[in-house]
Amino acid sequence: MEDIRLMFLLNKKRHYLVPFFYRIIRGTAIIVPLLILQSCMINGNFKGLYSYYESTYESKPELFSKEKWKCTPKDNNIVQIINGKDLEKCLSTSSRSLVYIWGPRCKSDICYSLDAIQKFCDDRKIKLFVVAEYYDLEQMDKNYILKNPILAIDVQYYGTNLTSKYLKLFLKDIHIESFQERYLLYEKGVLKRKIDDLFKDDSLYKEVKL
Protein backbone atom coordinates (compact mmCIF):
# COMPACT_ATOMS: atom_id res chain seq x y z
CA MET A 1 0.00 0.00 0.00
CA GLU A 2 2.84 2.34 0.88
CA ASP A 3 4.49 1.56 -2.46
CA ILE A 4 1.34 2.49 -4.34
CA ARG A 5 1.02 5.73 -2.39
CA LEU A 6 4.68 6.58 -3.07
CA MET A 7 4.25 5.96 -6.80
CA PHE A 8 1.18 8.18 -6.81
CA LEU A 9 3.10 11.03 -5.14
CA LEU A 10 6.02 10.68 -7.56
CA ASN A 11 3.73 10.76 -10.57
CA LYS A 12 1.96 13.79 -9.19
CA LYS A 13 5.26 15.59 -8.61
CA ARG A 14 6.42 14.68 -12.13
CA HIS A 15 3.14 16.08 -13.46
CA TYR A 16 4.07 19.52 -12.06
CA LEU A 17 7.81 19.35 -12.74
CA VAL A 18 7.62 18.56 -16.47
CA PRO A 19 5.70 21.74 -17.41
CA PHE A 20 7.98 23.72 -15.10
CA PHE A 21 11.15 22.54 -16.84
CA TYR A 22 9.49 22.99 -20.22
CA ARG A 23 8.83 26.65 -19.39
CA ILE A 24 12.47 27.10 -18.36
CA ILE A 25 13.75 25.55 -21.61
CA ARG A 26 11.33 27.58 -23.71
CA GLY A 27 12.35 30.79 -21.93
CA THR A 28 16.04 30.02 -22.46
CA ALA A 29 15.42 29.38 -26.16
CA ILE A 30 13.99 32.88 -26.45
CA ILE A 31 16.50 34.74 -24.28
CA VAL A 32 19.72 33.25 -25.71
CA PRO A 33 19.10 34.37 -29.34
CA LEU A 34 18.17 37.82 -28.07
CA LEU A 35 21.47 38.04 -26.18
CA ILE A 36 23.37 36.90 -29.27
CA LEU A 37 21.65 39.49 -31.43
CA GLN A 38 22.37 42.16 -28.85
CA SER A 39 26.06 41.24 -28.86
CA CYS A 40 26.10 41.77 -32.64
CA MET A 41 24.74 45.28 -32.34
CA ILE A 42 27.00 48.27 -32.81
CA ASN A 43 25.49 51.62 -31.88
CA GLY A 44 22.01 50.25 -32.44
CA ASN A 45 22.78 48.75 -35.88
CA PHE A 46 23.54 45.23 -37.00
CA LYS A 47 26.91 45.65 -38.71
CA GLY A 48 26.86 43.89 -42.04
CA LEU A 49 23.09 43.51 -42.31
CA TYR A 50 22.68 46.76 -44.25
CA SER A 51 25.02 48.73 -46.51
CA TYR A 52 25.15 51.98 -44.45
CA TYR A 53 25.67 53.69 -47.78
CA GLU A 54 23.57 56.81 -47.18
CA SER A 55 24.86 57.65 -43.69
CA THR A 56 28.48 56.97 -44.69
CA TYR A 57 28.28 58.91 -47.94
CA GLU A 58 26.56 61.88 -46.29
CA SER A 59 29.22 61.99 -43.57
CA LYS A 60 32.07 62.40 -46.06
CA PRO A 61 31.00 62.52 -49.74
CA GLU A 62 34.46 63.64 -50.88
CA LEU A 63 35.84 60.23 -49.89
CA PHE A 64 33.83 58.51 -52.62
CA SER A 65 33.87 58.56 -56.41
CA LYS A 66 30.87 57.64 -58.55
CA GLU A 67 32.68 58.24 -61.82
CA LYS A 68 33.14 55.31 -64.18
CA TRP A 69 36.23 53.46 -63.01
CA LYS A 70 38.73 52.53 -65.72
CA CYS A 71 40.68 50.02 -63.63
CA THR A 72 43.26 52.69 -62.86
CA PRO A 73 45.57 52.28 -59.85
CA LYS A 74 45.02 54.21 -56.67
CA ASP A 75 46.50 57.71 -56.57
CA ASN A 76 44.71 58.90 -53.42
CA ASN A 77 42.44 57.51 -50.72
CA ILE A 78 39.26 57.81 -52.77
CA VAL A 79 36.86 54.87 -52.45
CA GLN A 80 35.54 53.84 -55.87
CA ILE A 81 31.84 52.95 -56.11
CA ILE A 82 31.31 50.22 -58.72
CA ASN A 83 29.08 47.36 -59.79
CA GLY A 84 30.09 43.81 -60.63
CA LYS A 85 30.18 44.42 -64.38
CA ASP A 86 32.78 47.15 -63.85
CA LEU A 87 34.97 44.78 -61.88
CA GLU A 88 34.50 41.98 -64.41
CA LYS A 89 36.14 44.15 -67.08
CA CYS A 90 39.13 44.79 -64.83
CA LEU A 91 39.51 41.09 -64.05
CA SER A 92 39.53 40.20 -67.75
CA THR A 93 42.54 42.45 -68.37
CA SER A 94 44.64 40.94 -65.56
CA SER A 95 46.68 37.77 -65.96
CA ARG A 96 46.05 36.90 -62.31
CA SER A 97 43.91 38.74 -59.82
CA LEU A 98 42.45 38.24 -56.37
CA VAL A 99 39.10 39.64 -55.28
CA TYR A 100 38.86 40.01 -51.52
CA ILE A 101 35.38 40.54 -50.07
CA TRP A 102 36.38 42.76 -47.19
CA GLY A 103 34.31 42.96 -44.03
CA PRO A 104 35.58 46.20 -42.46
CA ARG A 105 34.63 44.99 -38.97
CA CYS A 106 35.41 41.31 -39.50
CA LYS A 107 37.26 39.80 -36.52
CA SER A 108 37.69 36.30 -37.94
CA ASP A 109 41.14 34.72 -38.16
CA ILE A 110 40.86 34.69 -41.96
CA CYS A 111 40.27 38.45 -42.16
CA TYR A 112 43.84 39.70 -42.43
CA SER A 113 44.88 43.34 -42.66
CA LEU A 114 44.59 44.91 -46.10
CA ASP A 115 48.27 45.84 -46.10
CA ALA A 116 49.28 42.23 -45.36
CA ILE A 117 47.06 40.93 -48.17
CA GLN A 118 48.51 43.48 -50.60
CA LYS A 119 52.06 42.38 -49.78
CA PHE A 120 51.06 38.74 -50.17
CA CYS A 121 49.69 39.49 -53.63
CA ASP A 122 52.67 41.65 -54.63
CA ASP A 123 55.06 38.81 -53.79
CA ARG A 124 53.15 36.55 -56.18
CA LYS A 125 52.44 39.09 -58.93
CA ILE A 126 48.71 38.97 -58.30
CA LYS A 127 46.57 42.08 -58.78
CA LEU A 128 44.43 42.72 -55.70
CA PHE A 129 40.90 44.10 -55.75
CA VAL A 130 39.41 44.84 -52.34
CA VAL A 131 35.60 44.95 -52.39
CA ALA A 132 33.94 46.28 -49.24
CA GLU A 133 31.05 44.12 -48.06
CA TYR A 134 29.40 47.23 -46.60
CA TYR A 135 30.23 50.90 -46.00
CA ASP A 136 32.22 51.91 -42.92
CA LEU A 137 33.65 55.43 -42.81
CA GLU A 138 36.21 54.81 -40.08
CA GLN A 139 37.74 51.78 -41.79
CA MET A 140 37.49 53.12 -45.34
CA ASP A 141 39.06 56.45 -44.48
CA LYS A 142 42.49 55.03 -43.66
CA ASN A 143 45.75 55.27 -45.55
CA TYR A 144 46.30 51.69 -46.70
CA ILE A 145 49.18 50.71 -48.99
CA LEU A 146 46.82 49.26 -51.59
CA LYS A 147 47.71 49.47 -55.29
CA ASN A 148 44.05 49.81 -56.30
CA PRO A 149 41.36 51.87 -54.58
CA ILE A 150 38.98 50.25 -52.14
CA LEU A 151 35.90 49.27 -54.14
CA ALA A 152 32.43 49.89 -52.70
CA ILE A 153 29.36 48.18 -54.12
CA ASP A 154 26.89 50.49 -55.84
CA VAL A 155 23.73 49.69 -53.88
CA GLN A 156 21.69 52.14 -55.97
CA TYR A 157 22.60 50.17 -59.10
CA TYR A 158 21.34 46.96 -57.47
CA GLY A 159 18.28 48.64 -55.97
CA THR A 160 18.60 47.30 -52.45
CA ASN A 161 20.22 48.26 -49.16
CA LEU A 162 20.29 44.73 -47.77
CA THR A 163 23.82 43.34 -47.79
CA SER A 164 22.77 39.77 -48.54
CA LYS A 165 20.82 40.88 -51.62
CA TYR A 166 23.21 43.37 -53.25
CA LEU A 167 26.24 41.20 -52.48
CA LYS A 168 24.60 38.21 -54.15
CA LEU A 169 23.83 40.28 -57.26
CA PHE A 170 27.34 41.76 -57.31
CA LEU A 171 28.99 38.33 -57.01
CA LYS A 172 26.77 36.94 -59.74
CA ASP A 173 28.20 39.59 -62.07
CA ILE A 174 31.68 38.17 -61.45
CA HIS A 175 30.48 34.57 -61.85
CA ILE A 176 30.07 33.62 -58.18
CA GLU A 177 26.80 31.93 -57.24
CA SER A 178 27.03 32.17 -53.45
CA PHE A 179 29.05 34.02 -50.83
CA GLN A 180 31.05 31.52 -48.80
CA GLU A 181 34.74 32.31 -49.28
CA ARG A 182 36.14 35.85 -49.09
CA TYR A 183 39.10 35.22 -51.41
CA LEU A 184 38.43 34.66 -55.10
CA LEU A 185 41.31 33.89 -57.48
CA TYR A 186 40.93 34.73 -61.18
CA GLU A 187 43.09 34.22 -64.27
CA LYS A 188 42.25 36.52 -67.19
CA GLY A 189 38.75 37.01 -65.84
CA VAL A 190 38.04 33.32 -65.30
CA LEU A 191 37.41 32.13 -61.76
CA LYS A 192 40.02 29.54 -60.84
CA ARG A 193 39.50 28.97 -57.15
CA LYS A 194 37.66 30.12 -54.06
CA ILE A 195 39.99 30.34 -51.08
CA ASP A 196 38.93 30.12 -47.45
CA ASP A 197 42.17 31.22 -45.76
CA LEU A 198 44.62 33.06 -48.02
CA PHE A 199 47.69 32.63 -45.81
CA LYS A 200 47.04 28.92 -45.34
CA ASP A 201 46.52 28.13 -49.00
CA ASP A 202 49.44 25.81 -49.77
CA SER A 203 49.72 26.37 -53.52
CA LEU A 204 49.77 30.16 -53.21
CA TYR A 205 51.77 30.34 -50.01
CA LYS A 206 54.64 28.32 -51.48
CA GLU A 207 54.89 30.36 -54.64
CA VAL A 208 58.18 32.16 -55.18
CA LYS A 209 58.13 35.69 -56.57
CA LEU A 210 59.36 35.63 -60.16
Domain layout of the chain by residue ranges: 2-39, 53-205
So what's the pLDDT on residue 53? Answer: 97
Residue 193 has a CB neighbour count (10 Å cut-off) of 14
Say yes or no: domain 53-205 is CATH 3.40.30: yes
Q: For the segment 104-156, what is each residue's pLDDT rounded down to a tens digit?
A: 999 999 999 999 999 999 999 999 999 999 999 999 999 999 999 999 999 99
pTM of the model: 0.77
So what's the pLDDT on residue 183? Answer: 98
The pLDDT mean for the chain works out to 84
Helices then strands, each counted (H, E), the chain: 8, 9
Q: For the segment 22-48, what is each residue's pLDDT rounded down to a tens digit?
A: 565 454 444 444 443 333 333 444 567
Query: With the C-alpha atoms ordered 118, 124, 130, 133, is the resulting torsion angle positive or negative?
Result: negative
DSSP 23-61: HHHHHHHHHHHHHHHHHTEETTEEBTTB--HHHHHHH-G
Question: 155-164 long-range CB contacts below 8 Å, 24 or more apart?
Answer: 155/51, 155/53, 156/53, 157/83, 158/83, 161/50, 161/51, 161/53, 161/54, 162/49, 162/50, 162/51, 163/48, 163/49, 163/50, 163/51, 163/133, 163/134
Q: For the segment 42-82, what is each residue's pLDDT rounded down to a tens digit?
A: 344 456 799 999 999 999 999 999 999 999 998 889 999 99
